[in-house]
Every structure is written in structure tokens, then in C-alpha cells.
Amino acid sequence: MRGPFGHWARLLDSPWSRGPAAALAGALPVLTFPAPSWWWLAYGALVPWLLLVRSAPTNRRAALDGWLGGTGFMLAVHHWLLPSLHVFILVLALLLGALWAPWGLLVRALLGGAPGARRLAAALVLVPSGWLMAELVRSWQYLGGPWGLLGASQWQVPPALRLASIGGVWLLSLLIVAVNTALTELIARPAVRRPAVGGLLVCAVAATAVWFWAPVPRPAGTVRMAVVQPGIIDGPAARLARGEALTRTLAGRGVRLVVWGESSLGQDPAEHPALTARLTALSRETGAELLVNADAPARHGAGIYKTAVLIGPHGPTGDRYAKMRLVPFGEYVPFRSVLGWATRVGKAAPVDRRRGTHQVLMPIATAGGLRIGPLICFETAFPDMSRRLAQDGARVLVAQSSTSTFQHSWAPAQHASLAALRAAETWRPMVHATLTGISAAYGPRGEPVGGRLGTGSSATAVYDLPLAEGTSPYTRFGDWPVYGAVAALAAYLGWAGLRAVSRSARARR
């Protein structure tokens, strides 16, 4: 290859330089997430990786470029886990990165060589669809869950949030990869620019049409809620005392619900009457119900659960929600008999937490019976959980979280950003309360409400949350972008299979 790319092409002929280049190219999209939050970079961040994969000399090399790029992406997105998992994070990244090996094959098949206009047009649909399959598989809770989905990088962009209300975070991922694919085509095959330009125009027109014509939630008043963020405090007793002191400052301010963070209690109120009495008195004093969270053995020694407990002026309301989706290695070790060694090289959970069995709606009596849908920490990454709560009648989504282990990393900002997406997808405002920050609230369009409590704060925040009526298209129709991607890939694989059989038949004649 001659010209300005000739030197780089020769350099990438060596597997010793090509492998690190693939990993670095795969890691580039991490800059689109908080803390950098360079959301605009998402629309070109995949181009270096795509150019590299399409130039692979063989299918085996393309699959390897996909795998190494996926490994780089997984390492970059989860780099803040390194102090907890140490070398095991590399093992996990290599396992999850393998999900992009088939995507590498797909990219080379559609963009490699000198593709014509029809193949390039097909790539605009199939390359994003292949990416979505990798995101979908890794979103399984036992593989780590949907942290760092590409579409989540657009959490602060109003037009993108409007798209999320139509097709969820999946639709945003499809759009982003489609734009990257079109840009790659323009760079690699400028002579066949029509499908690439057409694809960019389709993306722009579709996004504009959604902004102007998509339905929006109907305003339905407000409700005043507050979060209590005690900050970094050693020991559950000191944390409880600080939470009580902060909560008392909310008395007389018209707050209907006070939300404490995940693991705000080291004991289950159901097992400790004295603790229940303290919290009940606190609820009476403030005139608000309290949503606390216990990380403690449940009743009758049934194992350790993380449980959201609602307490009113007359005591516990009976409404409890036990966390259903646990953080692998953080809250349990998968296949502990085989992978238990992870506890010796990092900070993996020494004892497995137990899972809840079903989601719960909690009516808030002090807010006229307004029903909230609780989520605990990691669960805000799963769009299906917030969608189910909205379908069941939740008016407000409430998340209780704790990222104190990763206080000085990108994790708190990334976690808080997810609430904006879940709110926009469901048209339900969302409160994100943490022990040590970042705590925040978002309205039914994903717009920020009030201020955020940063990781250096020990304070309260009061939010007048705008409520909304109506059902978002995503809540109503679900993950239709995923089904469309599966259908497109199935059609392509069916066509490719028939074509291979036809060629084989002709060769035998």
C-alpha cells in the first residue's frame, strides 16, 4: 500500500504490533463514558478498530483482531475493578472479549477487500447487528451484566434520550455503530461513497424525526423526595448515626420519602426491634417514610441478603425487596468450588449473598399511595428490570447504591449516569441514592433534576421530582431493536449458507 497509510499498513503486518493495536483500538470507546464523558467521540471511536479488522489478511486474523479489541474494550470499561480483582480482571476481559471474535469475522466479510455498493449497504445493517449480539450476550447477569453498553455513553444527550424512549439503550448502540460503519466505508472505499453517505443521512433523518415526532411523557405534578449520603464512614454503627443526623435536618421540608443508600444498615430491622424503633421514630420526626437498605442475614438465618426496607411513622410497612441480580465476584463467586481462588488474589466476596425472587412495588402512604419501584446498585444497569417496574405501575424508580470501594475511580460517575437512561426509557423519574456518591435524580425524559452529591459530600439533597403519565414506546414494545438485529443476522446467515451450498454444488458438476 502506498500513500500516507503505507507505513502503518506495513507496521500492522507484524502480529506483534497488530495485537496491541487491536487492543488499543478496542479500548478507545471508554473515553465516551464518565468520567471523561466525551459522548461525541462515540460516533467515530470504533473507526480505527473497524479499519484494522477489515484489513485482516485471513478470517483467523480478523477473529483475533475482534477478540483482542473486545478484550481491550472490556479492560478499559472495567479498569476500576483492578484493585479488587487484580490479575483476574485480565482473565475476565479475555473471556468476554471473545464475544467480539464473530463480529470480527462479520466485519471482514462485509467490509474487507473491495466491496461493492450492495455489500457496503448490507454492512450498515449487519455490522451494528453483530455488535448488538455481543452486547446482548455479555449482558447476561452471570457474565457480568450490561455495564458499559455503547449506547449508555449518550446519557446526557437529549435527542439520544428521546431515542432511548423508543428502543432503549439497544437502539442507541445500533445507531452509534451504524455511524461508525459508514465513516469506515468512506475512509476505506471513497470510490463507493453512495451507501455510506446514504447511511449517514438515514441516521440523521431518523434521529431528527424521532426528536420532532416521537411521543413524550405528559406532566403529572411533582413529588418531593430526598437522599441521605453519609459519606465515607467506618463501621455500620457510625454510618447509622450519621444517616440519622442528616435525616433529621429534613424535618419540616415537606419530604415524602427519604432514600438511604445500599448497605446503609448492618442489621435487618426485622431481626432487631430496637433498630426498628429508632427508624420508626425518625420517620415520625421527619414526616416522611424511609427507604433503608440492610446488608445482613435475613430472618431465621436464611442467608445474607441485600434488602430494601420501607419504614413509616407507624413502623415497617411490610414492603421489602431483596436484590435479585448480584455482582459476580463482588457479591458472590460463580462456581466457587472452581473459582474460589479469586478471593486470594483480590477482594472477591468471601461469602455469597443470596438472591431475591421477584420485583416489588412499594406504595408511599405519605405521598398519597404513590408507588415506587426499588432497584439495588448493579440492577440499574439492566433495562429490563426498570421496564418491568414501569409496566407494573411504578411512578418513580428508586436506586440504592454503594460504590465506596471504587471511590476515586470512574465507577461512581458511570453508575449515576445509568439512572438518566432508565428514566428516559420508561418515562419514570429516577432517584439514585448512594452511601458515598454520586447521588443524583433525573426526570421522566432523563433530564437532571436539582444538584448532584459528589464523592466528597456528606449531606442530603431534596428533589422535587416531576411525575409523568403515559407509557413510553420502549416500555410498551420492549427490546424490538434486538429482535430486528437477530432477524437481520439470521437472514444473512441463511443467505450465506444457501450461497455456499450452491457454490459447492456447482463445483461438483
pLDDT above 90 (res 85): no
Band the pLDDT of 4: cuts 50, 70, 90: very low
Average pLDDT over residues 318-325: 90
Q: Which of 313-322, 336-345, 457-466, 482-491 has the lowest mean pLDDT?
A: 336-345
Average pLDDT over residues 190-203: 87
pLDDT above 60 (res 5): no
Per-residue pLDDT tens over the stretch 211-257: 888 899 999 999 999 999 999 888 889 999 999 999 999 999 999 99
Average pLDDT over residues 409-417: 93
Band the pLDDT of 350: cuts 50, 70, 90: low
Q: Which of 127-141, 171-185, 302-316, 345-359 has the lowest mean pLDDT?
A: 345-359
Q: What is the pLDDT of residue 46?
A: 97
Which has more pLDDT, 445 or 194? 445
Calpha distance 480→485 (Å, rounded): 9
Q: How many CB atoms lie within 10 A of CB 104?
A: 29
Per-residue pLDDT tens over the stretch 332-349: 777 665 666 666 666 666
Which has more pLDDT, 407 or 440? 440
The reply to whether omega before 35 is within 30° of 0 (cis) is yes
Per-residue pLDDT tens over the stretch 61-72: 999 999 999 999
pLDDT above 60 (res 430): yes
Q: What is the pLDDT of residue 192?
A: 82
Q: 362-364 and 370-376 as β-strands: parallel, antiparallel, unpaired?
A: antiparallel
pTM for this structure?
0.92
Q: What is the pLDDT of residue 14?
A: 66
Grid coordinates representing 472? 413510553
Grid coordinates representing 433? 441514592
Q: What is the pLDDT of residue 1?
A: 44
How many helices (H) and strands (E) are present in the chain, helices listed first? 18, 11
Average pLDDT, the chain: 90
Grid coordinates representing 149? 453498553
pLDDT above 80 (res 138): yes
Q: How many CB atoms lie within 10 A of CB 346?
A: 17
Average pLDDT over residues 433-439: 93
pLDDT above 70 (res 3): no
Band the pLDDT of 17: cuts 50, 70, 90: confident
Q: What is the pLDDT of residue 11?
A: 58
**H or E stretch covering 175:** helix 158-188
Average pLDDT over residues 17-24: 92
Q: 304-312 and 289-297 as β-strands: parallel, antiparallel, unpaired?
A: antiparallel
pLDDT above 50 (res 185): yes
Q: What is the pLDDT of residue 346?
A: 65
Of the chain, the percentage scoring pLDDT greater than 70 comes to: 92
Band the pLDDT of 145: cuts 50, 70, 90: confident
Per-residue pLDDT tens over the stretch 266-313: 888 988 899 999 999 999 999 999 999 998 876 666 678 889 999 999
The reply to whether omega before 438 is within 30° of 0 (cis) is yes
Answer whether 170's CB lies under 8 Å from 151's CB.
yes
Average pLDDT over residues 162-182: 96
Q: What is the pLDDT of residue 509?
A: 66
Which has more pLDDT, 28 or 506? 28
Q: What is the pLDDT of residue 6?
A: 52
